[in-house]
Structure 1
Amino acid sequence: MSSRLRYLPFLSLAKSGDFISTCSLSPLGLFLAATTAGGSIMLWKLPEGRECYPRLESGDMPSCLQWLPSPEIPTLLCGTETGMLHTLKMKAQSGTLTISGQALCQLPMKTLAYDTVRGLAAIAGHEVHVYSLTGRHQWIRIQLLPLPTPISIIESHVEPTSIAWLCQEAESQLLVGYQNHGIVLWDTTQLTTVRLIKGQSIGGVLCSHIQQFASVNSLQNLEVYSIVSGLQWRPLETCQSFDHIEALVTVHSGNGIAVQSQGFLHIIDLKTGYLLQSVKFGHHQEAR
């Protein structure tokens, strides 16, 4: 797992004065996609870490990324500040890149979360939308999630900041993080709040396939929760602590995450909470 993340050319970004704002690893770990603060979309081919397509520039500001689980044709979704959803399909044999776009909403898209069965969840402004892909390869909105009730739990003016589908037998549950308020576990079939995890200041939420999820608090520190029984969650006490986390990245094995922090990409095993490896941007360094 960790060997695929060596020698990525992050130094080229630092020299150009641009910074990574969001990044995402493809399901089989073949590509790493990133958006930059300057409005670019970048794609690296792994494990060699070379840029496999020209840097994409557009008049619209990309704001979020999500890979679709299609190993034959790697497909990347990119949401923008104007509510557009761009689809990028990479054909390895021909080396071509196909790009198409669709206007999903009139609100800035902040986060995407895709599941094969449940569809595409998106945060757009104050709202949480769920979309389904039609036979014509167009996304249609099938749900608009209301804010949690009672309203005293999460005030109506508070914007959701992160979302992730819960990876367990429940096929329609969505974790929604609210900055400075908490994490709500939604049942998207019944449109009810299943559970509220209070007291967390959420900057990001990621789920693994082993009933764990990670978040970033207001101090930009990592917090990892593990399921105990039913829907009771507890913090993982063994989890590593990092200062000033800029991004969380899923790792293709499904049991780990990569944490971007102060010039390093830290690879963490969510099952144990232990640090597996640290990769310095542009250089390689094993974890101690």
Structure 2
Amino acid sequence: VGTGIGVLAEVINKSSDKTGIRAVANVISTSDEAIKSGTMSNIIINGITLGDINNIKAGDSDGRLVQAFNAATNQTGVEAYTDEKGRLNLRSIDGRGIKISVSKNQKGQDGKVAEVSVKSMNGGQKLDGKGSENYGRLSLTRLDARDIIVMSATNAKNTYKALGFDNKQIAKQVVNLRDAMGAFNKDIKSASGANYNKVVASGGAELGAGVTTLRGAMVVMDIAESATKILDRIRADLGSVQGQMISTVNNISVTQVNVKAAESQIREVDFAQESANFNKLNILAQSGSYALTQANAVQQNILRLLS
């Protein structure tokens, strides 16, 4: 518990809001062939011993083998199911690795050795030898159409190889809405994480058209989400430009109002000054008229006295 690429995916997803990257961990082991009628002896999965399972039917038609695995899911972290080809699939529910081994079947009371129901998994890993080990596949999806850059501070070469990020180990592909109009090719299938083990990878070259498969539907959903995020970013940029334009127009309006106010004040000052000058000159004119009237009156009085 708390190990494997499932934990790594959780750590990456905690920073998705900053990195724009979403991680998905797939740890699924698939038998190389359909389940055969027979027996599996001393099954050990992730350190838990399941013991012997006898009388297994072809394709596990009665579910005996799957039920035996699922009865210990809480301990092993692995659930089992069969696919349409009758193959055994083991899926890690928390992203930890899957390690399974069996012992060679012994002779029965009839002196015969029973058929081994599942001999190998994941493209040739024999269960009765070293066993099968599968630590899964990590898929990274960037939703803003930019490159995914992975860096390691120390021991980079070995770290990349251990995580599957060596140049020869990764599968990368840029997908857009145009690709969703037809069948997703083998490169998209691999990059999307659909080839989670060698058995599945060898089963078909294409992922299928659009949403006809689960993985294809998830790819289409990622494309739609990416398009939405890009549109949101463009809309935010346009909104910023619009805000700047509105601010500029408002500044121009304020400047215009200020100029008009200054003009009004200037006109008011000029009118007041002219009014004061007019009143002063009017008073001087009235004073002059009064002085002239008084002078005429004095002249008349002198003439009257002389006559």
With normalisation by structure 1, the TM-score equals 0.23
Q: Which has the higher contact order (CA 8 A, sep 6+)?
A: 2
- Which has the larger helix fraction? 2
- Which has the larger strand fraction? 1
With normalisation by structure 2, the TM-score equals 0.22
